[in-house]
Chains A and B, each alone.
Chain A
Amino acid sequence: AQTVTQSQPEMSVQEAETVTLSCTYDTSESDYYLFWYKQPPSRQMILVIRQEAYKQQNATENRFSVNFQKAAKSFSLKISDSQLGDAAMYFCAYRTPYGTASKLTFGTGTRLQVTL
C-alpha cells in the first residue's frame, strides 16, 4: 500500500520569504500523480499544484512550485514571497491513475504559519 509522510507538523515563515514543505511517499508503481492541497481555516480543501510522475519537469503555479525527485520519492512544495493568506494546513497526496485505484492517499499535513 502507498504511504505518504509529512515530517513537519508545523512550519513558520515571515511574510515575503520563501518556505519549503517536505513530503515523501512510498510506492512500487512507476506511474502516479502527486498533489498538494491547502486547507485554510474555512476547512475547504483547495488544490494547489499537481505533478505527473512521468514528467521530469517540476510543476509551477505562480508562487508555488515543487521539487519532484522520483528516485528519492520526494515531493516538496516551495512557496515563494509568502503572504498572510498562505497560512493554512497543507496536505501532500498521492494517487494512482488506474481504474478503481483512483483514490487519494494523504499525508498527515503541515500547518504553516505566516508572520509579519
Chain B
Amino acid sequence: NAGVTQTPKFQVLKTGQSMTLQCAQDMNHEYMSWYRQDPGMGLRLIHYSVGAGITDQGEVPNGYNVSRSTTEDFPLRLLSAAPSQTSVYFCASIKGGGLYGYTFGSGTRLTVV
C-alpha cells in the first residue's frame, strides 16, 4: 500500500531540456491530477485524468503534456523546460465522487536554470 509514488524528488534541468515526472498509484483510483505549487499562489492544476485514456487541461497546462495509458500511471512531461517552470510538482489521486480527499505524492522540486 504505497499510495501515490512520485519520482524523482529533486531535479535540476537546463533551459530547453525535456524530462518526465513519474507518478504511480496502487489504490485503483480513477482520478489523477498534477498540480504545481508556487510561493503565494497555492496549488494550481496543470492536467488531470478521469480514467485510462482520458485526460484534460487544468488551469496552467502550457508547456506540459500528459497521458494515461493505465489506471496506475500518470506521467507529466516537460517538453522544453523554462525557468518559469521552476516549482514544486505534486501528483494526486482520488477514488471518485463523494467526500474523498485527494491522496498526494511527496512532491518533486524542479529547478530550471
Binding site for B on A (CB under 8 A): 4, 6, 9, 33, 35, 37, 42-45, 47, 50, 52, 91, 97-100, 102-109
**A45 and B90 in contact (CB under 8 A), knowing A99-B97, A103-B45, A109-B42?**
yes
Residues of A contacting B90 in the complex (Cβ-Cβ under 8 angstroms):
45
Main secondary structure of the interface of B (DSSP, over half): strand
Among B42, B94, B96, B107, which residue has its beta carbon within 8 angstroms of that of A91? B42
Count, chain B residues at interface, CB 8 A = 27
Q: Do A52 and B96 touch across chains, with their CB atoms under 8 A apart? A: no
Is there an interface contact between A50 and B101, defined as CB atoms closer than 8 Å? yes
B33 at the interface (CB under 8 A from A): yes
B104 CB to closest chain A CB, in angstroms? 4
The number of residue pairs between A and B whose CB atoms lie closer than 8 Å in the complex comes to 58
Closest B residue to A52 by CB, please name it: B99
Which residues of B are found within 8 Å of A50, using beta-carbon distances?
Answer: 99, 101
Chain B positions 40 through 69: 1 when the CB is less than 8 Å from some CB of chain A, otherwise 0:
111111001010000010100000000000
Shortest CB-to-CB span from A66 to chain B, Å, is 13
